[in-house]
Amino acid sequence: MGGPEDPPEGTPEGGPGGGEDEYRSVVFDESFVRAARLQEFSAQERITDHAPAVRRRPPMRRGLSRQALVLVLLIAVAFGTAIYMGVRHPYQTPAAREPVEPLRMTVIPLAPEGKVPGTADLESLYEHSPAAQFRTGAEGVPLPASRRTAHFSDSQVVSALTTAKDYVVRSALDPEVLTGGEVRAVRVLLDPDQLEQFDQSFARPTADGRHAPTGWLVRFDPSRAELADRKVRVQGTLQAAEADSSTLEVTADHTSVYALRPAGAGGDDEVSLFTLRRELHFRFDRDDLRLHQAQLVVSYVQAGPLSCAEDSTNHLRPLLAGQMAKEGGPAGTDPYATGSATALCGSLATSAQPKV
């Protein structure tokens, strides 16, 4: 039998405490009670004021949490920055860019006064030439000390000089380009607005001062000559200057010396030197600096030994060891014809040839 404290029918199932466990999940803590919208009057209040059993509490004042305030502030700052950058964008829009000038090029053959000197001893040929102290390859195109300008930072000036150096190296020192088989390595460094002129020059070479492949890069006629030494000797300078608030200009002036021998010749054949001086004028706007590309606006080339009677528009056709220039001057110039360039030719000084 149960004790006097137990219900007549015994303790409900579920162990000690009986049915109390059923209500544990609905027991309200203090925070829940404080947040309740209804509040029960005390017994004293109900007796004194004859008030109803409950009253409605005023709503609690709630503000934004700290996290919400920070989020709103960040959104406001981001929105303001976007508006500011839209108004003060550091780069010119495509519509505001000045039109890119087409390349103006001049290629002057230099004819030797006698036979072209040559020898089978390549090192001796270099040692007895003005190129004896020249460096080889890209080492001969060092970057100069640079400083910021009024409107361009140090890094932008260095970018312009680096792009100009890359163009010089790829267009005049790369063996694949020199042998007439590669042009893309040079093309990718040009401003897109000059690509049409570049492509027309190689598709339809013309001696008009605008569309000569030898104005864009150095390449020899592969049916006539080949490289006897893939390490080209070179010496020259790079200079950068600000043209205006939106344009940097770089001038590259380099003399390159190539060791050549007849195409298909063996290692015992005589080797001769071919000298080329080239002055390039580059122009860079801020888009060019960002994309590592250049506008080539002037190309002035003097090269020899060449024959003035030969066409140097598409390929350079060098005179090799023991050869002499053909009689006759350059192709005639018609002063009545429009759009054509004046044919030019010079004489290669004896002092520019190696002494063998």
Mean pLDDT of 297-317: 95
∠ CA 96-99-100, nearest 5°, is 130
- What tokens does 16 get? 């000690």
Element containing residue 111 per DSSP (H, E): strand 104-112
- What tokens does 216 get? 């864009």
pLDDT tens per residue, range 63-77: 556 777 788 888 888
pLDDT at 121: 92
pTM of the model: 0.72
Is the distance from CB of 343 to CB of 332 less than 8 angstroms?
yes
Burial class (CB in 10 A: 0-12, 13-18, 19+), 204: exposed
Cα(286)–Cα(293) distance, rounded to whole angstroms?
A: 10
In this predicted structure, the answer to whether residue 45 has a pLDDT above a threshold of 90 is no
Is the distance from CB of 240 to CB of 161 less than 8 angstroms?
yes
pLDDT tens per residue, range 117-163: 999 999 999 999 999 999 999 999 999 998 899 999 999 999 999 99
In this predicted structure, the answer to whether residue 53 has a pLDDT above a threshold of 90 is no
pLDDT at 118: 94
